[in-house]
């Protein structure tokens, strides 16, 4: 019976790997089926985060595969097998999204994080904090632009802390959730509960604190939460897309609190780190693309790590549509054009040229004061590209565009970045400009 079950499970995994390569992870090999009875397949997992990943990301695909292979209607149950460590309070450790419960991603562990010159200090600080929370760097503040691994490091730190001591009270959440929670508490007259929840934790981790911009009352509340925890030597870890001083309209006293501990930046990964990250991601997905494909992606995608991963997923997905083989030819097709020669320097004036041609606006308009959308949008695109493609600081970029200050540049960057994620037209336009600038 056990053999039959093992055989079914093995075939299920192979089917999943073949048809749903994007969600497949190499740790699936370690999952054990427990029983198949009365239309239920019970699957044992040793980690909470695995259980969540399977339930939320894979349940439908897994069910489909199980039904295809057995020819029966079957439901799945994911059982947490680490019985010794099951605690009544287990779930209370996590807080977060709309449902009030937050789960960490099994992908975001220290083991899966590649260390390079761009993130060495941030990584070392997180490891140190996970080893002695509240004592080394407090608060720890990590900043860097999108897709460079801030959330990954924060979650890895939390997971490592929980691994060492499951009783630890860790609150991890995005700053947006904190703000929304606060607003709701005020509206419902439940400030006491809110304060109790946030101030009785061992570790408070808040992702993307730039969200505090212009939220005065939330800043005030955050300030007091911070002080209470700090004074009782509880660990605080924060991330943002810029340094504390660069967060627009952040109260001075908060800036100085954030600067009290360690502030460290993550930069864009260099070529070697990009290669190592691709190797790691491939390994996690149980695939082995040829070295030339890894080099090709690492040369071609420089903007951030999230896109690097996206490229790998895309190529892998395309390969699965054919014979499963990943080749350079296929990678070229999947990512379009020829690779860029490495190390090319792009100047702000090249960016301005490209953007003014594309939108048919004049240099003097881009540098001038007019704020109509027909000018403001191209200007924001310029600033976005300048931040992404050149090494200039926010101040320097502001200087090029009529002496605007760094907060304006940051605002522009965020605006275009958001549109890039949510609006196909903007993405198409930005990608076109980037290709034009990097492939000349």
Residues that bind ligand ADP (CB under 6 A): 107-108, 112-114, 119, 144, 146-152, 277, 280, 305-306, 309
Q: Which of 108, 14, 30 is nearest to 62 (CA)?
A: 14
Q: Which of 197, 249, 191, 250 is nearest to 228 (CA)?
A: 197
Q: What is the C-alpha separation between 265 and 281, in angstroms, rounded?
A: 23
Residue whose Cβ sits closest to ligand ADP: 149
With respect to Mg ion, which residue has the nearer C-beta, 89 or 422? 422
In the list Mg ion, ligand ADP, none, the entry touching 147 (Cβ below 5 to 8 angstroms by class) is ligand ADP
Q: What is the C-alpha separation between 409 and 389, in angstroms, rounded?
A: 14
In the list Mg ion, ligand ADP, none, the entry touching 152 (Cβ below 5 to 8 angstroms by class) is ligand ADP
In the list Mg ion, ligand ADP, none, the entry touching 61 (Cβ below 5 to 8 angstroms by class) is none
In the list ligand ADP, Mg ion, none, the entry touching 182 (Cβ below 5 to 8 angstroms by class) is none
Residue 294 Cβ vs Mg ion, minimum distance, rounded to whole Å: 25
Do the beta carbons of residue 366 and residue 356 sit within 8 Å?
yes
Q: Which region, judged by CB under 5 A, interacts with Mg ion, from 28-36, 123-131, 146-154, 399-407?
A: 146-154
H/E element, 18: helix 2-19
Residue 210 Cβ vs Mg ion, minimum distance, rounded to whole Å: 11
Backbone conformation region of residue 147, classed left if phi is above 0, alpha if psi is from -120 to 50, else beta: left
With respect to ligand ADP, which residue has the nearer C-beta, 151 or 218? 151
Residue 11 Cβ vs ligand ADP, minimum distance, rounded to whole Å: 29
For the chain, the straight-line distance linking the first and the last C-alpha, in angstroms and rounded, comes to: 63
With respect to ligand ADP, which residue has the nearer C-beta, 247 or 277? 277
With respect to Mg ion, which residue has the nearer C-beta, 213 or 408? 213
With respect to ligand ADP, which residue has the nearer C-beta, 240 or 351? 240
Do the beta carbons of residue 64 and residue 324 sit within 8 Å?
no
In the list ligand ADP, Mg ion, none, the entry touching 119 (Cβ below 5 to 8 angstroms by class) is ligand ADP
Report whether the peptide linkage leading into residue 139 is cis, meaning its omega lies within 30 degrees of zero.
yes
Residue 118 Cβ vs ligand ADP, minimum distance, rounded to whole Å: 8
With respect to Mg ion, which residue has the nearer C-beta, 51 or 305? 305
Tokens of 314: 């895309």
Residue 191, SS3? helix
* Binds Mg ion by CB under 5 A, chosen from 17, 151, 304, 426: 151
Residue whose Cβ sits closest to Mg ion: 151
Distances (CA, A) of 172 to 53, 100, 121, 192, 218: 17, 11, 21, 20, 17
Residue 108 Cβ vs ligand ADP, minimum distance, rounded to whole Å: 6
With respect to Mg ion, which residue has the nearer C-beta, 150 or 281? 150
DSSP characters over 20-62: -TTT--GGGGG-EEEEEETTEEEEEES-HHHHHHIIIIIHHHH
Letter string b/e over residues 139-161, b meaning 16 or more CB atoms within 10 A of that residue's CB? bbbbbbbbbbbbbbbbbbbbbbb
Q: Is 213 in the site for Mg ion (CB under 5 A)?
A: no
In the list ligand ADP, Mg ion, none, the entry touching 44 (Cβ below 5 to 8 angstroms by class) is none
Give contact residues for Mg ion (rule: CB under 5 A). 150-151
């Amino acid at each position: 019976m056990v053999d039959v079950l093992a055989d079914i499970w093995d075939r299920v995994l192979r089917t999943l790997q073949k048809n749903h390569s994007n969600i497949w992870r190499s740790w699936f090999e370690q999952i054990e089926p427990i029983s198949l009875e009365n239309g239920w397949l019970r699957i044992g997992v040793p980690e909470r985060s695995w259980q969540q990943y399977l339930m939320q990301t894979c349940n439908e695909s897994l069910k489909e595969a199980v039904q295809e292979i057995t020819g029966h209607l079957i439901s799945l149950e994911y059982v947490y097998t680490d019985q010794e460590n099951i605690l009544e309070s287990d779930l209370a450790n996590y807080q977060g999204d709309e449902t009030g419960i937050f789960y960490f991603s099994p992908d975001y562990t220290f083991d899966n994080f590649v260390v390079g010159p761009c993130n060495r200090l941030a990584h070392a600080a997180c490891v140190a904090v996970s080893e002695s929370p509240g004592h080394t760097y407090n608060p720890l503040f990590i900043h860097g632009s999108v897709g460079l691994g801030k959330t990954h490091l924060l979650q890895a730190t939390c997971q490592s802390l929980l691994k060492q001591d499951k009783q630890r009270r860790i609150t991890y959440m995005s700053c947006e959730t904190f703000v929304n929670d606060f607003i709701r508490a005020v509206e419902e007259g439940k400030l006491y509960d809110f304060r109790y929840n946030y101030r009785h934790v061992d570790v408070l981790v808040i992702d993307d604190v730039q969200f505090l911009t212009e939220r005065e009352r939330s800043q005030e509340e955050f300030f007091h939460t911070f002080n209470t925890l700090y004074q009782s030597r509880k660990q605080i870890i924060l991330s943002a897309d810029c340094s504390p001083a660069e967060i627009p309209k952040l109260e001075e006293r908060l800036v100085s609190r954030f600067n009290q501990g360690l502030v460290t930046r993550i930069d864009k990964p260099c070529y070697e780190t990009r290669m190592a990250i691709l190797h790691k991601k491939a390994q996690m997905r149980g695939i082995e693309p040829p070295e030339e494909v890894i080099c090709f992606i690492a040369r071609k995608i420089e903007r951030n790590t999230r896109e690097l991963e996206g490229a790998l997923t895309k190529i892998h997905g395309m390969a699965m549509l054919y014979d499963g083989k990943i080749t350079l030819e296929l990678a070229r097709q999947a990512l379009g054009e020829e690779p860029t020669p490495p190390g090319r320097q792009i100047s702000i004036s090249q960016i301005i040229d490209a953007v003014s041609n594309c939108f048919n606006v004049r240099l003097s308009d881009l540098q001038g004061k007019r704020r109509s959308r027909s000018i403001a949008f191209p200007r924001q695109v310029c600033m976005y590209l300048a931040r992404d493609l050149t090494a200039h600081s926010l101040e320097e970029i502001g200087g090029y565009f009529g002496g605007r200050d760094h907060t304006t540049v940051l605002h522009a960057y965020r605006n275009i970045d958001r549109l890039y994620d949510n609006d196909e037209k903007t993405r198409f336009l930005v990608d076109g400009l980037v290709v034009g600038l990097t492939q000349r």
